[in-house]
Structure 1
Amino acid sequence: MLILFSFSFFLFANEVVFEAIEKFARENFGPNVTIVSFEIRSTPSSFDEVQLISHARFGSMFSFLFKTFRERTFCGYLRAQCELAIFSNVLLASRTIRSGETFSEKDVTLGKVNLLSLKVEYCTKQEEVIGKIARKMFRQGEPIDARYLVKPPDVRAGQLLTAKVQIGSVFVTTQVRAMHDAYIGEKISVRNVSSGVMINGLLQEDLTVVVGG
C-alpha cells in the first residue's frame, strides 16, 4: 500500500510541477514552446499545490525553485529542471565560410534548430544573407549570425572614380583612384590619377567624390 501511495504521489507531483512549468513557458515564450525534458530534483514528502518563486536560465535549460503547500500550509521547497524549445527553420552555413568571404545561395541551407538554445541573431530569409560579407568564420552547420554580416562596400580600393572639387562656386572634375573600401555617405581618401596628390572627400550616391575647396 505504501508503494502504491508513493507512486501515486510521484505521478501527482510530476503533473502539478509540469503544469506550473508549462504555464511559465507559454506566458514567457508563447504557444509554440515545447518542454523537451523535465526532472524534479528535490521535493518535500507531500504537497498539493506549488508556487514558482524563482528560475534561472542557461541557454535552453531552466532551473526552477517552487514553494510547496499542503492544504494551504507551507511545507517546503521543490527544485525542478527542464529544457524548453521553440523549433524553427533558420539559415545554416552549408560549408565552412571564412571571414571576408561573400555568401552565395549555395553557401546557406535551412535547418530546424531550437531557437532558445541560440545566442545569435539568426536569419530565416536568404535575402538577409546572400551577397553579405562574413566578418567571422562560420563552420558548416552553424547558424548564420546577422551581427557578423556586412553588405559589400559601395566602392572598392583601387576603383576609379570622379572627384568634384569645389573652388568657390565652381566645381572642377578630375579622375581619382580609391585608396580603400568605402560606403556611400562616408569620407574616402582618393589619389588624383594625374598629379598623384592625395585628397579626401565624401562619397555620393552616384559614386562621385565631393571635395571641399
Structure 2
Amino acid sequence: MKRSIGLMVVLLSIFMSCSFANELIKEAIEKFARENFGSEATIVSLQIRSFPSSFDKIQLTSHSRSKSFFSFLFKAYQEEKFCGYVRVECELAIFTDVLVANRTVRSNEVLSENDVTFQRVNLLTLNVEHCTDLNQVVGKIARRMFRQNEPLDARYLAKPPDVKAGQLLIAKVSIGSVFATAQVRAMRDAYVGEKISVRNVSSGVLIEGLLQEDLTVLVIGG
C-alpha cells in the first residue's frame, strides 16, 4: 500500500513538472508569435522533442522556419543555473479570409467579381501579397496565370492600360513656339504619365511622347 502511494506521488510530481514545462514553453512561443506576427497569431500544433528533467526558466536561443512550421531551441535553467536545452517543433497560424481564383485565370485576363471568391487560409503558408478586398482585384489584369483556389497575388495584378497597342490618338507636337497636331497609332499599351512610342498615320514616322490625362501624346522637339 505504501509502495503504491509512493508511486502515485512520484507520478503526480512528474505530471505536474511536465505540465509546468509545457506551459512555460507554450507561453514562450506565444510571446514569440505575438512579437513577430501580431496578436492574431496562434499555435496550431506543438511537439516538445527534448528537454531536461527539471527546469524553471527558458530562453530562446535560435529558431528556423519553413512556411508555417517552426523549430525552436531554448536554453533551460533551474534556479538560474543552465541545465540543458529544450527543442520544440510547432506550427503557427494567422487565419484570415483572402481572395482566391474561382477558376483558372490566364495571363492578361481581366478579373470580374465572378472570377474570385473568399477562402480562409493560414497567411503564414503563403508567399504572396494577399488580397482581402474585391476592389483590389475586380477590373484588374492578371499578369500571370492563377490556378483555381490559388490565392491572388497583388504583385501580379495591374489596372488595364489607359491606351492599348494599335489605338488611334492625337499627338501634339511642340517645336519652339509652334504647335501642331497629327493622328498617330500607339505602338504598345501605356498608362497616363508614361513615355509611349507612336507612329504618324500619314507619314509613317515613329515618334515618342508623353501620354497626357486627356490621352493625347505630347511630343517635345518634333
Which ranges of 4 or more aligned residues in structure 1 deviate by more than 3 Å?
Answer: 2-8
Query: How does 1:70-89 map onto structure 2 within 5 Å?
Result: 70-89=78-97
- Residue type of the alignment partner of 1:19: E
Counterpart secondary structure, 1:41: strand
More deviation, 25-34/159-168: 25-34
Alpha-carbon deviation of 1:4?
A: 4.2
Alpha-carbon deviation of 1:3?
A: 4.2
Q: Deviation digits for residues 63-117 of structure 1, max 9, x if unmatched?
A: 1111111222211011001111111111111111111111111111111111122
Unpaired stretches in structure 1, ≥5 consecutive residues: none
Q: Deviation digits for residues 34-87 of structure 1, max 9, x if unmatched?
A: 110001011112222212222222211111111111222211011001111111
Structure-2 residue corresponding to 1:15: 23
More deviation, 129-138/43-52: 43-52
Structure-1 residue corresponding to 2:69: 61
Give me the CA root mean square deviation: 1.5
Structure 1 Cα separation of the partners of residues 192 and 122 of structure 2: 38
Query: How does 1:65-144 map onto structure 2 within 5 Å?
Result: 65-144=73-152
- Residue type of the alignment partner of 1:210: L
Q: How many residues align?
A: 213
The reply to whether residue 175 of structure 1 matches residue 189 of structure 2 is no
Structure-1 residue corresponding to 2:153: 145
Alpha-carbon deviation of 1:174?
A: 1.4
The reply to whether residue 203 of structure 1 matches residue 211 of structure 2 is yes
Q: Deviation digits for residues 117-170 of structure 1, max 9, x if unmatched?
A: 211111111111111111111111111111111111111011110111123312
Structure-1 residue corresponding to 2:48: 40
Question: Could you tell me the percent identity over the aligned residues?
Answer: 68
More deviation, 6-15/99-108: 6-15
Structure 2 Cα separation of the partners of residues 189 and 29 of structure 1: 46
TM-score, L = length of structure 1:
0.94
The reply to whether residue 51 of structure 1 matches residue 59 of structure 2 is yes
Structure 2 Cα separation of the partners of residues 46 and 203 of structure 1: 72
Structure 1 Cα separation of the partners of residues 25 and 215 of structure 2: 63
The reply to whether residue 185 of structure 1 matches residue 190 of structure 2 is no
Q: Deviation digits for residues 21-43 of structure 1, max 9, x if unmatched?
A: 11222222222111100010111
Structure 1 Cα separation of the partners of residues 185 and 39 of structure 2: 57
TM-score, L = length of structure 2:
0.90
Counterpart secondary structure, 1:57: strand
Aligned match of 2:173 in 143, 165, 169?
165
Structure 2 Cα separation of the partners of residues 182 and 25 of structure 1: 44
Unpaired stretches in structure 2, ≥5 consecutive residues: 1-6
